[in-house]
Amino acid sequence: MSAEGEPTTESAGHPRRWRALWGTASLYAAVVAGGIVGSLARWVVALVIPAHAGGLPWPTFFANVTGCFVIGFYAALTGPDGRLFAGARTRQFVMTGICGGYTTFSGFALETVRFILSNDVRSALYLVLSLASWLSAVWLGDALAEWINN
């Protein structure tokens, strides 16, 4: 404090630092909360869809395709030109948290490597089908949101 009782620049900047810290911490908390939701949703998918019906890991495939659709749709719908406004925390909650916890690229990679190491000819089918489906799902989600935006 100055002699007149006014806050000095050192003490006046202190609340700004706490606000900045709180903003960062709340963004991280949103990602963590979304990750919990996404991971639980992924677990439910694994319970509902048979693990290897027809020899392919359908729960992983389904989670990755639907997650790709959701992220494409949500990104376009809530982007700068989107119809719905979503702040940074909300976008990170959905796109990084939920979609990141829900989709399972590491699971896909493990299953693909196991297919390849076992000389299973379905490994190429699974790899091509997965990549084409993910990209198509993101594109469809984005296109649907763009249609809604207009």
Could you write out the DSSP letters of every residue in 38-62?
Answer: HHHHHHHHHHHS-TTGGGS-HHHHH
Burial 93-129 (b: 16+ CB within 10 A, else e): bbbbbbbbbbbbeebbeebbeebeeeeeeebeebeee
Band (pLDDT 50/70/90 cuts) for residue 5 is low
Nearest Cα residue to 103 out of 47, 35, 25: 35
CA distance 79 to 75: 6
According to the model, what pLDDT value does residue 132 have?
Answer: 96
63 contact partners, CB below 8 Å, separation of at least 6: 42, 45, 102, 103, 104
Portion of the chain with pLDDT greater than 70, in percent: 91
Assess contact for 45 and 65: CB atoms under 8 A. Answer: no
According to the model, what pLDDT value does residue 56 have?
Answer: 82
